Amino acid sequence: MKVILLEDLKGIGKKGQLINAADGHARNYLLPKKLAMEATEHNVRELEARKKALENKKRKDYLDALELKKTLESKGIDLRVKTGESGRLFGSVTNKEVADALAAQHGIQLDKKKIALAEPIKTVGEKKAEIKLYTDVTANVTLNVMRL
């Protein structure tokens, strides 16, 4: 019996995959537990439509990430921090501070976990940060750390 899997099943297949299962296995286990649905013509067409919609969404998200990368790399982020007399910061600049400054200056909301600082920022000057926007799309942003 041909069925479409509704969940990933170890040793059987991935979600959305069309498989040929034994009749008893399909009728007694997969279908009652809602792990699969019968592969009727309508269900197969619906599955293909969902796959195509998901592909289009991924492509759109990728293009949006590339556009955001261009925007971020063309603009810098200014950070004003308290420093001592020698120019060293009290503490260091964190990912959260960079995310907050990005939201305040450019109106771009990003999760702080997507921002990676190469090393802790403890002095004033220009620094670099990597922002992971999407799979295989990373923006290298210039941080301009200045005295308050």
The full 3-state SS of 25-91, as one line of letters, equals HHHHHHCCCCCEEECCHHHHHHHHHHHHHHHHHHHHHHHHHHHHHHHHHHCCEEEEECECCCCEEEE
Query: How far is residue 68's CA from residue 50's CA, in Å, rounded to a whole number?
Result: 27
What pLDDT score was predicted for residue 3?
Answer: 96
Total-model pTM:
0.74
Read off the pLDDT of residues 99-122 as tens digits, 9 standing for 90 and up.
999 999 999 999 999 999 988 898
**How many Cβ atoms are within 10 Å of 39's Cβ, its own excluded?**
19
DSSP-derived letter for residue 118 is S
Instruction: Sketch out the chain's domains with CATH numbers.
Output: 2-63 (3.40.5.10), 65-147 (3.10.430.100)
At 75, the pLDDT band (50, 70, 90 cuts) reads confident
